[in-house]
């Protein structure tokens, strides 16, 4: 029985290899690809890429030319290090190359690529981008939250000063992460998650931060199932299972946020004095009409935009600040010059409002 099973598997694999070679020969007769390294059956060039694939691709460009063809499992790809070719791709033919690949992470963690960051170029992407530019990321709306950003900066300085006085170690990623998260959640959701003015329980805030970081990590994972479909059947590291779990938890959080804003909106409408201050981003999205004559935007669209805004404003800002501080710490002389310049020009009792 075991021998029969082994023979069957060997036969199926052999047929797949023969079919792959036949398809390759047929494709080569009609398509001319750029030069590239030799490819393995089924796997293609996947084994030639290591933990730092960008360096491996640069090395292949040095060896095979400015434009290199790679076969990553069942996916055709090209890579280049030539400035003219890059300019051609990014400027002259940007509409051809602008769409991102529909990876498994994007499907599970970006509402089926229904957001702005990962949606393919088309009417839906243009509409979602227009909503962001015309209703959310406007100069007037961003300026309306200047006071909140200044307040968060004061919280950050006071928190770091207090920890330094006690001789405690300061985790920059944690501090900057909380600072960025507070700024975006106050603008987006109308509530503070960390610090003395927090509107949520500490456990809920930490859970939200944890699941957000997990989401970022999974979106950046190079998952073999995107290139080798049979890998999804095995999923030895449980990557897809983890994506589905994060998908459910993030969607639950977004649903809760939307429900809270809908309840608050009904309460404001029932109240005769409904002038209740500045609207946050979710309030704005709930007030916008939907597609094809619908009265409101679909919840999935709102959730996708909420996620994009959180992703764009939290982890990226925190990592950039952490990197900048790490570089300055490694250069004590440069740090001293920066401190002296800040003390002499800005002073110790003034805040740079235009840089907040």
Residues 137 and 85 in one domain: no
Residues 137 and 90 in one domain: no
CA atoms of 327 and 316, how far apart (whole Å): 17
- Closest CA relative to residue 325, chosen from 193, 127, 223, 173: 173
Residues 206 and 302 in one domain: yes
- The residue from 47, 79, 98 where one domain ends is 98
Q: Specify the CATH number for the domain of residue 337.
A: 1.10.630.10
pLDDT digit string (tens) for the chain, length 356 residues = 444 444 444 444 554 554 555 455 555 545 688 899 998 888 899 999 888 888 999 999 999 988 999 999 989 999 999 999 899 988 888 888 888 888 888 888 888 888 888 888 888 888 888 888 888 778 887 788 888 888 888 888 888 888 888 888 888 888 888 888 888 888 888 888 877 767 777 788 888 888 888 888 888 888 888 898 888 888 888 888 999 999 999 999 899 889 988 888 888 777 756 555 667 888 888 888 877 777 778 889 899 988 888 877 777 788 888 888 889 989 999 999 988 888 888 877 777 665 54
Residue 64: its pLDDT value, please?
Answer: 92
Residue 291 within a domain: yes
Tally the domains of the chain.
2
Residues 345 and 235 in one domain: yes
In terms of residue numbers, what domain contains 316? Answer: 125-355
- Decide: 80 and 88 in contact? Cβ < 8 Å: no
- Decide: 118 and 106 in contact? Cβ < 8 Å: yes
Residue 21 within a domain: no
Return all residues near 31 (Cβ < 8 A) that are at least 6 apart.
none
**pTM check: above 0.85:** no
CA atoms of 282 and 128, how far apart (whole Å): 14
Residues 87 and 151 in one domain: no
Residues 237 and 289 in one domain: yes
Residue 38 within a domain: yes
Residue 6: its pLDDT value, please?
Answer: 44
Residues 72 and 130 in one domain: no
Residue 105 within a domain: no
Phi-psi region of 243 (alpha: psi -120 to 50; beta: other; left: phi over 0): alpha
CA atoms of 325 and 310, how far apart (whole Å): 23
Residue 23 within a domain: no
Residues 168 and 284 in one domain: yes
- Decide: 192 and 201 in contact? Cβ < 8 Å: no
**DSSP alpha helix (H) spans, 271-313:** 281-287, 299-313
Residues 91 and 137 in one domain: no
Residue 114 within a domain: no
- The residues pairing with 78 across neighbouring beta strands, listed in sequence order, are 69
Residue 283 within a domain: yes
Residue 277: its pLDDT value, please?
Answer: 60
Residues 47 and 188 in one domain: no
Residue 18: its pLDDT value, please?
Answer: 47
- The residues pairing with 79 across neighbouring beta strands, listed in sequence order, are 68
Residues 159 and 83 in one domain: no
Residues 318 and 191 in one domain: yes
- Decide: 16 and 42 in contact? Cβ < 8 Å: yes
Residue 300 within a domain: yes
């Amino acid at each position: 029985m075991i021998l029969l099973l082994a023979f069957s598997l060997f036969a199926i694999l052999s047929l797949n290899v023969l079919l792959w070679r036949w398809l390759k020969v047929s494709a080569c007769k009609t398509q001319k690809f750029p030069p590239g390294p030799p490819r393995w059956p089924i796997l293609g060039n996947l084994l030639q890429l290591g933990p730092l694939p960008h360096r491996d691709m640069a090395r292949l460009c040095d060896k095979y030319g400015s434009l290199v063809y790679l076969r990553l499992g069942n996916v055709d790809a090209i890579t280049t290090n030539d400035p003219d070719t890059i300019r051609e791709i990014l400027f002259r033919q940007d509409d051809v190359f602008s769409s991102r690949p529909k990876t498994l992470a994007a499907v599970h963690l970006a509402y089926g690529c229904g957001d702005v960051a990962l949606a393919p170029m088309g009417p839906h992407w243009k509409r979602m981008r227009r909503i962001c530019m015309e209703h959310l990321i406007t100069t007037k709306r961003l300026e309306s939250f200047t006071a909140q950003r200044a307040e968060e900066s004061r919280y950050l300085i006071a928190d770091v000063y207090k920890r330094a006085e006690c001789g405690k170690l300061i985790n920059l990623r944690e501090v900057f992460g909380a600072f960025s998260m507070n700024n975006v959640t106050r603008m987006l959701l109308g509530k503070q998650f960390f610090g003395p003015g927090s509107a949520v329980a500490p456990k809920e805030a930490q859970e939200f931060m944890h699941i957000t970081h997990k989401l970022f990590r999974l979106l950046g994972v190079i998952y073999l199932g995107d290139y080798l479909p049979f890998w999804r059947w095995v999923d030895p590291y449980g990557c897809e299972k983890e994506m589905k779990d994060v998908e459910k938890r993030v969607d639950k959080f977004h649903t809760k946020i939307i429900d809270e804003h809908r309840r608050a909106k009904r309460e404001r409408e029932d109240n005769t004095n409904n002038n209740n201050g500045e609207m946050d981003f979710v309030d704005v999205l709930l007030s916008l009409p939907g597609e094809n004559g619908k009265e409101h935007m679909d919840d999935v669209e709102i959730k996708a935009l909420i996620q994009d805004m959180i992703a764009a404003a939290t982890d990226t800002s925190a990592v950039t600040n952490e990197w900048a501080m790490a570089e300055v710490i490694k250069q004590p002389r440069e740090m001293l010059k920066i401190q002296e310049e800040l003390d002499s020009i800005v002073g110790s009792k003034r805040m740079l409002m235009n840089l907040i």
